[in-house]
Amino acid sequence: MNPTTPLDAAAAQEAGQSLQALLDSLDRVLLGQREVLEQLLVALLAGGHALLEGVPGVGKTLAASALARALDVKSGRIQFTPDLMPSDVTGTNVLVPGEGRFEFRPGPIFAELVLADEINRAPAKTQSALLEAMQERRVTVDGTSHNLGEVFCVFATQNPVEYEGTYPLPEAQLDRFLLHVRVPYPPQDAEEALLHASLAGFEAADPNTFGLEQGLQRGKLLSLRGYARRVRVEPALVAYIVALVRSTRADTELSLGASPRAAVALLRAAQAAALLGGRDFATPEDVAHLAAAVLSHRITLRPEAALEGIGAHQRVAAALERVPAPR
């Protein structure tokens, strides 16, 4: 099928139903965090990466682990620590005893869905080991490139940067994440349900207790990514996305607005959100709903604004108010 051929409405509806069924099963593992799970699926469908941020214990790692469990893909995990070296992530060439030659030993980055746990516990040099992998889906070691595959996706978790022993991610690293997903505390009823699940044998550290089956085969995932690219986006909606992104560059409270890459990211995220909703067309609501997750980590506040307590999400909200949505 030609990737530029508009998606059929019936195919979009069927895809949306299968994705909602997957969400329902995941929702029984990560209680009270439906929006977080939706955003992770949007990143996966759009072929992007997601950065999950929240205080310890709210389910960041569990969300990524549960999704990996539900997919028929090879998953891997990297626990970022202050002493982690770039070669511990990418792999290295080692001398083969008795043969006088070097052999490449791949690192944990060589998986299809990689959980980069507590990514901001490692210094910038090690964080940057992910840059090429996330952008080009390949790793270069000693001048030789090694492909990571078309499914490759990174879900990274981080604690808020105010916490002790954390390092802020460089702007270039942040820009590689399609979405910045905030993971809040769950509502009271979900927290009570979590305790009941724990009494019944649920363990966040043991995927065997999740009760999940593989809900999305690898081939189906790739097909759905192709479907997302074929979701119809009207010219008026394209103009709306561009106007929103350019509006951040004129914001006097920001020292750095969103880039053209951010506009592409918002477009892809809106297409994926439409498919998740079972639609063959994207809407201004899709754009507005995901604008903060796509743009907030791609803009930089002026120091004076940050001292006044102004947040990046507030500036994205201001852009949404300034720019009229198409009808």
DSSP string, 24-46: HHHHTTSTT-HHHHHHHHHHHHT
Q: Taking a C-beta distance cutoff of 8 angstroms, is the pair 147, 155 a contact?
A: no
Residue with tokens 């561009």: 242
Q: pTM for the full model? A: 0.92
In a domain, 187, yes or no: yes
Here the CATH number for the domain that contains residue 199 is 3.40.50.300
User: In this predicted structure, what is the pLDDT of residue 72?
Assistant: 80
In a domain, 48, yes or no: yes
Does position 1 have pLDDT exceeding 80, yes or no?
no
Structure tokens at 55: 């205080």
Q: Percent of the chain having pLDDT more than 70? A: 98
Q: Inform me whether the pLDDT recorded for 51 exceeds 90.
A: yes
DSSP structure class, residue 130: G
Q: What is the pLDDT of residue 161?
A: 65
If one counts the domains in the chain, the total is 1
Handedness of CA 315, 318, 324, 327 (dihedral sign): positive
Alpha-carbon distance of 19 to 49, in angstroms, equals 18
Residue 40's pLDDT is 96
155 strand-pairing partners: 50, 115
Question: Region 145-154: what's the mean pLDDT?
Answer: 92
Q: Which domain holds residue 41?
A: 32-218
* Arithmetic mean of pLDDT, 33-47: 96
pLDDT attached to residue 3: 64
Q: Are strands 138-141 and 144-147 parallel, antiparallel or unpaired?
A: antiparallel
Mention every residue, 6+ apart, whose C-beta is less than 8 A from residue 312: 292, 295, 296, 297, 299, 301
Q: Mapping DSSP to helix (H, G, I), strand (E, B) and coil, where does residue 290 land? A: helix
Q: Identify the pLDDT of residue 192.
A: 96
- Quick check: 177 pLDDT over 70? yes
The two structure tokens encoding residue 82: 């202050």
State the average pLDDT over residues 146-164: 85
Would you say residue 56 lies in a domain? yes
In sequence order, which residues have a C-beta less than 8 Å from that of residue 100 and are 6 or more positions away? none
Give me the pLDDT at residue 162, please.
63
Instruction: Tell me the helix, strand and coil percentages in the chain, rounded to 5.
Output: 50, 15, 35
Mean pLDDT of 45-54: 95
Task: Examine residue 98 and state whether it is found in any structural domain, yes or no.
Answer: yes
In a domain, 277, yes or no: no
194 — pLDDT class (breaks 50, 70, 90): very high
Is 147 domain-assigned?
A: yes
Across the range 136-144, mean pLDDT stands at 89
Q: What is the pLDDT of residues 109-126, one digit of tens each?
A: 999 999 999 998 888 888
pLDDT at 231: 97
User: 159 in a domain, yes or no?
Assistant: yes
For residue 149, pLDDT beyond 90: no
Residue 244: its pLDDT value, please?
A: 97
Which pLDDT does position 218 carry in this prediction?
82
For residue 206, is it within any domain?
yes
- The string of DSSP letters for 42-96 reads HHHHTT--EEEE--TTSSHHHHHHHHHHHBSS-EEEEE--TT--HHHHHEEEEEE
Per residue in 55-104, pLDDT (tens digit) is 888 999 899 889 888 888 888 899 999 999 999 999 999 988 888 888 99
* pLDDT tens digits along 239-260: 999 999 999 999 999 999 999 9
127: confidence class by pLDDT, cuts 50, 70, 90: confident
